[in-house]
Amino acid sequence: MSANRPQARLTIRNIQALRDGGERIAMLTAYDNVTAAVLDQAGIDIILVGDSLGNVVLGHPTTLSVTLDDMIRHGAAVHRGTARALIICDLPFGTATDPETALRSAITVLQQTGCQAVKIEGGAPAAPTITRLREQGIPVMAHIGLMPQAVHQLGGYYVHGKNAESAERLMETALALQHAGAFAIVLECIVPDLAAEITRRLTIPTIGIGSGAACSGQVLVVNDLIGLNIERPPSFVVPRADVAAVIREAACAYVAEVKNASGQSKETQVD
């Protein structure tokens, strides 16, 4: 364990120290108390309570149906399960449309969940919002590239930064959001060479997802990592387990036991 990893809860200063010291930052999503506790025990640096819960927990086709109440409920559960990781909560669609709306949303989230920071999707227009929150003492992680909350405006899910114009715009956006006060930036589905150059130019951490290995750290949806899915995960994810198969096997065995048993099973007998 490095000197930058105290047993007390990590702060944004610790995360910056990891980046400055050349230590990669490990980040995963979590949406419930038990999963968050297990990830915390594993030494995850940052846990994101992502609005991806709309897809992987609530069964929506996009993140757009997720509400602030949803994020607060799940954010509080995650925070209660952890003692060490920095906990960041997404501000969902429609809750950060301007600086004052975002400020009210962020204050509510921090007060009611215990999370330490919020994440906001958006390009250069998000800069004034980030500055406003920073002025009020609220740390903000920015998010550029593929932005699921803007899926309809973007026209789908695809890799960003493939041409010179797009690459220049992403670089300028990253620098603007750093200048506005973001403490880190998620780079989602950005051409790896461009993500590497953005990481080199910035002085704050970059967290990649589907953007190559050169970012300061990486984030994945925990369900993709552990194979707790019905559909196939994104192509850039290599699942480390097949938890869905374990659950399915256990449930099938239980169904067979209940259907075939002549009396109560051992687990259901009352002494």
- Residue 121 known to bind ligand: yes
Is 51 marked as a binding-site residue?
Answer: yes
Q: List the structure tokens of 17.
A: 């120290």
Q: Which residues contact 176 (CB under 8 A, 6 or more apart)?
A: 124, 127
Query: For residue 210, which phi and psi values (nearest 5 degrees)?
Result: 65, 30
3-state secondary structure labels for all residues of 211-268: CCCCCCEEEECHHHHHCCCCCCCCCCCCCCCCHHHHHHHHHHHHHHHHHHCCCCCHHH
What backbone torsions phi and psi does residue 60 show, to the nearest 5 degrees? -80, 155
Task: Provide φ and ψ at 107, rounded to 5°.
Answer: -60, -45
Is residue 235 part of an annotated ligand binding site? Answer: no
- Asked if residue 271 belongs to a known ligand binding site, the reply is no
- Indicate if 231 belongs to the active site: no
259 is in an annotated binding site: no
Q: Can you tell me which residue has the tokens 């009210």?
A: 104
Calpha distance 130→140 (Å, rounded) = 6
The rounded distance, in Å, linking the Cα atoms of 20 and 266 is 56
Q: Which of 188, 231, 249, 257 is catalytic?
A: 188
Count other C-beta atoms under 10 Å from residue 114's C-beta: 16
Instruction: DSSP for 114-161, please give it.
Output: --SEEEEE-SGGGHHHHHHHHHTT--EEEEEES-GGGHHHHTS---B-
| Residues labelled as active-site residues | 188
Q: Binding site for 3-methyl-2-oxobutanoate, residues?
A: 51-52, 90, 119
Q: Binding site, residues?
A: 51-52, 90, 119, 121
Q: Binding site for Mg(2+), residues?
A: 51, 90, 121
